[in-house]
Amino acid sequence: MEYPDDLDALEELHRTLGVPVTRVEAGREPGQGEALRVRTPDGHPVEFYHHMEQVPVYDDRGRVRLPMRSTHRFRGIPPMFIDHMNSRVEDPDASLTYWRDRLRFSISEYTVRDGKTFAAWLRRRRGTHDVAVVRSTGPSLHHVAYHVGEPADVMRTADLLADAGFRAQIDFGPGRHGLSNAFFIYVRDPSGNRLEISMGDYQRDLDAEPIRWEWEDYDEGGRLWWSPEYPARFLETTPVNPSWPL
Amino acid sequence: MEYPDDLDALEELHRTLGVPVTRVEAGREPGQGEALRVRTPDGHPVEFYHHMEQVPVYDDRGRVRLPMRSTHRFRGIPPMFIDHMNSRVEDPDASLTYWRDRLRFSISEYTVRDGKTFAAWLRRRRGTHDVAVVRSTGPSLHHVAYHVGEPADVMRTADLLADAGFRAQIDFGPGRHGLSNAFFIYVRDPSGNRLEISMGDYQRDLDAEPIRWEWEDYDEGGRLWWSPEYPARFLETTPVNPSWPL
Amino acid sequence: MEYPDDLDALEELHRTLGVPVTRVEAGREPGQGEALRVRTPDGHPVEFYHHMEQVPVYDDRGRVRLPMRSTHRFRGIPPMFIDHMNSRVEDPDASLTYWRDRLRFSISEYTVRDGKTFAAWLRRRRGTHDVAVVRSTGPSLHHVAYHVGEPADVMRTADLLADAGFRAQIDFGPGRHGLSNAFFIYVRDPSGNRLEISMGDYQRDLDAEPIRWEWEDYDEGGRLWWSPEYPARFLETTPVNPSWPL
Amino acid sequence: MEYPDDLDALEELHRTLGVPVTRVEAGREPGQGEALRVRTPDGHPVEFYHHMEQVPVYDDRGRVRLPMRSTHRFRGIPPMFIDHMNSRVEDPDASLTYWRDRLRFSISEYTVRDGKTFAAWLRRRRGTHDVAVVRSTGPSLHHVAYHVGEPADVMRTADLLADAGFRAQIDFGPGRHGLSNAFFIYVRDPSGNRLEISMGDYQRDLDAEPIRWEWEDYDEGGRLWWSPEYPARFLETTPVNPSWPL
């Protein structure tokens, strides 16, 4: 949240919506300030916070040392930030009344199938999305995406995993999405959660007209502008954790 | 501006500041909505607007075709957006009372010399800066920066210019800034204005503590983390246009 | 061929082998000097030549202008040279008596299955291969490979094809081979022939011990170090042209 | 040397030339077979060898593991091979009687100044050069070049050095040569010797006509197609070691 007291406003909003709400004291999650946990109307656990501890930007002698400027110590690919999460929901139009109308996210792109929204990508910043809602049988998580600095980092993800013996963790890609223009690879973490490593999406004003994909166009060139055929396992999702302490 | 009526609020603010202000009707600048022109207290001509025509995102048959997805027609390097402008001012601390205190820009990084601000980088988004103010004898423009999608585009800028016979237009670089972490090259347009082509800067919260460079550190590794020595012409700036119709 | 009179020696060799041989006068193939056409003992049509016209290296005024230094005029990805051809043969061990023993190619890598050579990669330069012979039901061509200058050109191949409406011509990839270490993508030309666009292979002395892959290792990580699963169409090959004028 | 007994032929040649010659037994230089040391007619110490120990290509369990496929363990930039050495000589035309006429190197490119060869680039493989001879007051070494796999490695060289505190070791670049087309950066090793990290040069037949640069063209766009101005220290060279045990 941009301002500390956004938490109060959000708590009130969610109480009005009649969904489970709880406050989380500062420090319960490492580095994170006070937070608000909710179950969204479309069934997803979400935690809002304002304060997050920053990575150090000075060295031991007090001189500036930006965190990315230690490449001589790094072996991996450095994600720059968490880019978005892609969620499955039962009724995307219903989800939009929450994300777009209540939380005032802006739709960047969407696609319609059989007269109803099939999927929508929403954001509170000029990038393509913070959250995607995609029609399925109910709430689940498809992937969380990390933004990297250049296309080479996407390929390097595959090289690193294969070299270290984790080739089977590469889920799908590399390829390019039509929607968002992102260049991507999907990998699985050790618990089986899907992570997207991507970059290359655009910046566009929040009040620009949402981009509409007809279903056939989306199916042909929106989901994937080019890429290998996706494997059946790419349709698997992570179920909502029923024991999340709300 | 984020909202259309920000123009009115800004007009009132600048009238209070006693600087020249004028409204510009929609369409006088191609694709741009109604605007507000001012001379800032630190002497720079600035134009504010809310509406800007968007590039087309559909093809002739109404199907989505994002503007960057015509690489088979492109020969150059595609800038993604105007990243920032770097201005010279007489007294950066005075400039901050305008940019930071009145316009509520957030300082990402700054450096202090002889007890006063020597330079500051400010932004209204999570990137490193929209505007920089750097101490000099008076107002002038050092460069305008375009953001490109990957490091290869920075080198390709030099290849393209040299191949097309414009090698002399390469002003300085490539190299990397310590401040902002951006990877850059500077070129001159045909009128002699300096353009920066860069990418690689970070995202950081607007309310994060500004990063402070001691002068000696900035002079050694802030301006340039690594790069060739800069030529004398890199200190040249573009003077403020006295005939700008305000 | 390195020397012009290698053609005579090769003609004599192939007559001794009892395979069809014919001479082709200079100029019948554009830019190519006198040549020798043969049908190899493993059934492939091959043409040997010494002289090939060079691309111009001077501009109209006689100043050096290397061919790759016109990026301002290029839109595609510039292949640097034809890297290799990958052929199917009935009996790779028999093929080796020709390529290795008669033509003195050096094996860089090979794999053995059921006690016999399954595939071998051979070269007359320090790269990984000019020719590969892979066991199948008989002679055919799997692909011809073009060498490009950097990994970005491999991905750009996919972007260019998809942007220009030829996404269906992308056959397989991008991915990395374990054998040769090459980073690749396979595409189909308009006639359906498979082309590989690749780079990243190594340089190794011609008299270095050939690298041996046990079949299981090759099957797991040699053919593909990492990549998507290959589609069934990737097993298709181009049959030998029976009407080639020999 | 391609064949083991090339050493004998070379020893005889150099004895005929009347220059100092000595044999070096196998193993005196780590991993290197028997060698021949000479002082070339243009005053340079040169060592010829045939056998060099290969880097391991199998892991502990006997499975293929190419040396470059351990990126999860690497932090630096991996040079693929030593590309060339650039030497200063008093009289390049005299040096050519040795390198070209005696050792049968092929000239790829050269430039003429005041009616005499100013510099020439020579090779025994299809790349642009193994050795360059450039006119100066006498024999010395300008640089030894390492070939890396992609342009990003050239920039990464600068990032790594600056991040690790060795920014002052960056000598010159990055930039692009007109001659050879190589993309380069020059750095100094801890003893002050200049190393070039480069890639992007072309492949061209050994019997192709050498490319001739008129002096003015070379001076304007051959040495450097584009790059920053080179610093005075770039003209420094490493003197021939008078105590090399010949």
Question: Using the beta-carbon criterion (under 8 Å), do B176 and D183 form an inter-chain contact?
Answer: no
Nearest CA in chain C to A155: C175
- Helix (H, G, I), strand (E, B), or coil: what is residue B108? strand
Selecting from C152, C158, C176 the residue whose C-beta is nearest the C-beta of A159 gives C176
From the CA of A74, how many Å to the nearest CA of chain C?
A: 21
From the CA of C161, how many Å to the nearest CA of chain B?
A: 8
Question: Using the beta-carbon criterion (under 8 Å), do A228 and C228 form an inter-chain contact?
Answer: yes
- What are the b/e assignments for B213-238, b being 16+ CB within 10 Å? beeebbeebbbbbbbbebeeeeeebb
From the CA of C143, how many Å to the nearest CA of chain B?
A: 24
- Helix (H, G, I), strand (E, B), or coil: what is residue B98? helix
- Helix (H, G, I), strand (E, B), or coil: what is residue B219? helix
pLDDT in tens, B160-217: 999 999 999 999 999 999 999 999 999 999 999 999 999 999 999 999 999 999 999 9
Assess whether pLDDT exceeds 90 at residue D245: no
pLDDT cut 70: percent of chain C above it? 100
Q: Return the pLDDT at A121.
A: 98
pLDDT in tens, A168-226: 999 999 999 999 999 999 999 999 999 999 999 999 999 999 999 999 999 999 999 99
Q: Which two tokens stand for residue D147?
A: 């070939």
**Residues of chain C contacting D126 with CB distance shorter than 8 Å:** 125
**Residues of chain C contacting B164 with CB distance shorter than 8 Å:** 72
Q: Write down the ipTM of this complex.
A: 0.95
Question: Using the beta-carbon criterion (under 8 Å), do B69 and C156 form an inter-chain contact?
Answer: no
Alpha helices for chain C (secondary structure H):
6-17, 92-96, 151-163, 215-217
Question: Using the beta-carbon criterion (under 8 Å), do C178 and D69 form an inter-chain contact?
Answer: yes
Evaluate whether C92 touches C134 at the Cβ level (below 8 Å).
yes
Q: Return the pLDDT at C31.
A: 97
From the CA of C209, how many Å to the nearest CA of chain A?
A: 23
pLDDT in tens, C21-70: 999 999 999 999 999 999 999 999 999 999 999 999 999 999 999 999 99
Question: Using the beta-carbon criterion (under 8 Å), do A64 and B222 form an inter-chain contact?
Answer: yes
pLDDT in tens, B11-51: 999 999 999 999 999 999 999 999 999 999 999 999 999 99
Mean pLDDT, rounded, for D154-183: 97
Q: Which two tokens stand for residue C205?
A: 């002395």
Nearest CA in chain B to C166: B72
Indicate which of B71, B73, B156, B159 best probes the interface with C, i.e. most C CBs within 10 Å of its own CB: B71
**Residues of chain C contacting B152 with CB distance shorter than 8 Å:** 150, 152
pLDDT in tens, C99-146: 999 999 999 999 999 999 999 999 999 999 999 999 999 999 999 999
Indicate which of D1, D2, D59, D63 best probes the interface with C, i.e. most C CBs within 10 Å of its own CB: D63
A163 contact D CB<8A: yes
Q: How many separate helices (H) and strands (E) can be counted in chain A?
A: 4, 13
Question: Using the beta-carbon criterion (under 8 Å), do B163 and C69 form an inter-chain contact?
Answer: yes
D13 contact B CB<8A: no
Assess whether pLDDT exceeds 90 at residue B121: yes
Q: Is the peptide bond before B174 cis (omega within 30 degrees of 0)?
A: yes
How far apart are alpha carbons D110 and D132 in whole angstroms?
Answer: 9
Question: Using the beta-carbon criterion (under 8 Å), do D164 and A72 form an inter-chain contact?
Answer: yes
Question: Using the beta-carbon criterion (under 8 Å), do D71 and A156 form an inter-chain contact?
Answer: yes
Question: Using the beta-carbon criterion (under 8 Å), do C68 and D212 form an inter-chain contact?
Answer: no
For strand A106-113 and strand A116-123, is the pairing parallel, antiparallel, or unpaired? antiparallel
Indicate which of D150, D179, D198, D213 best probes the interface with C, i.e. most C CBs within 10 Å of its own CB: D150
pLDDT in tens, A27-67: 999 999 999 999 999 999 999 999 999 999 999 999 999 99
From the CA of A184, how many Å to the nearest CA of chain D?
A: 19
Of C198, C194, C105, which is closest to residue C155 (Cα–Cα)?
A: C198
From the CA of B72, how many Å to the nearest CA of chain D?
A: 22
- Band (pLDDT 50/70/90 cuts) for residue B242 is confident
Question: Using the beta-carbon criterion (under 8 Å), do B66 and A208 form an inter-chain contact?
Answer: no
- Helix (H, G, I), strand (E, B), or coil: what is residue A40? coil
Q: Return the pLDDT at D51.
A: 96
Amino acid at A31: G
A61 contact D CB<8A: no
Of C111, C29, C28, C123, which is closest to residue C85 (Cα–Cα)?
A: C123
Q: Which two tokens stand for residue B74?
A: 């492109």
**Residues of chain A contacting C174 with CB distance shorter than 8 Å:** 155, 174
**Residues of chain A contacting B198 with CB distance shorter than 8 Å:** none
Listing DSSP states for B148-207 in one string gives -SSHHHHHHHHHHHHHTT-GGGEEEEEEE-STT--EEEEEE-TTS-EEEEEE------TT
Assess whether pLDDT exceeds 90 at residue C169: yes
Q: Return the pLDDT at D242.
A: 85
Selecting from C2, C202, C212 the residue whose C-beta is nearest the C-beta of D68 gives C202
From the CA of B151, how many Å to the nearest CA of chain C?
A: 11
pLDDT cut 70: percent of chain B above it? 100
**Residues of chain B contacting C159 with CB distance shorter than 8 Å:** 69, 71
Evaluate whether C51 touches C32 at the Cβ level (below 8 Å).
yes
Q: Return the pLDDT at D53.
A: 95
**Residues of chain D contacting B226 with CB distance shorter than 8 Å:** 158-159, 161-162, 167, 170
Q: Return the pLDDT at C135.
A: 98
How many cross-chain Cβ pairs, C to D, lie less than 8 Å apart?
72
Question: Using the beta-carbon criterion (under 8 Å), do A161 and C226 form an inter-chain contact?
Answer: yes
From the CA of B195, how many Å to the nearest CA of chain C?
A: 19
Measured CA to CA in angstroms, residue D145 lies from A183, C69, D78, D193, D195 at distances of 34, 22, 13, 11, 6
Q: Return the pLDDT at B114.
A: 95
Q: Which two tokens stand for residue B205?
A: 């919260």
Q: What are the phi and psi torsion angles at D71 (to 5°)?
A: -60, -25
B184-243 residues touching C, CB cutoff 8 A: none
Question: Using the beta-carbon criterion (under 8 Å), do C176 and A161 form an inter-chain contact?
Answer: no
Nearest CA in chain C to A163: C225
Q: Return the pLDDT at C243.
A: 87
How far apart are alpha carbons B130 and B136 in whole angstroms?
Answer: 19
Q: Which two tokens stand for residue D124?
A: 């025994």
- Band (pLDDT 50/70/90 cuts) for residue D193 is very high
What does pTM read for this prediction? 0.96
**Residues of chain D contacting B186 with CB distance shorter than 8 Å:** none
Residue showing tokens 């505007």: B131
- Partners for D (CB, 8 Å, 3+ pairs)? A, B, C
Nearest CA in chain C to B77: C72
Q: Which two tokens stand for residue B172?
A: 């300085």
Selecting from B64, B126, B181 the residue whose C-beta is nearest the C-beta of A178 gives B64
How far apart are alpha carbons B116 and B113 in whole angstroms?
Answer: 6
Question: Using the beta-carbon criterion (under 8 Å), do A173 and C231 form an inter-chain contact?
Answer: no
D151 contact C CB<8A: yes
Question: Using the beta-carbon criterion (under 8 Å), do C178 and D54 form an inter-chain contact?
Answer: no
A159 contact C CB<8A: yes
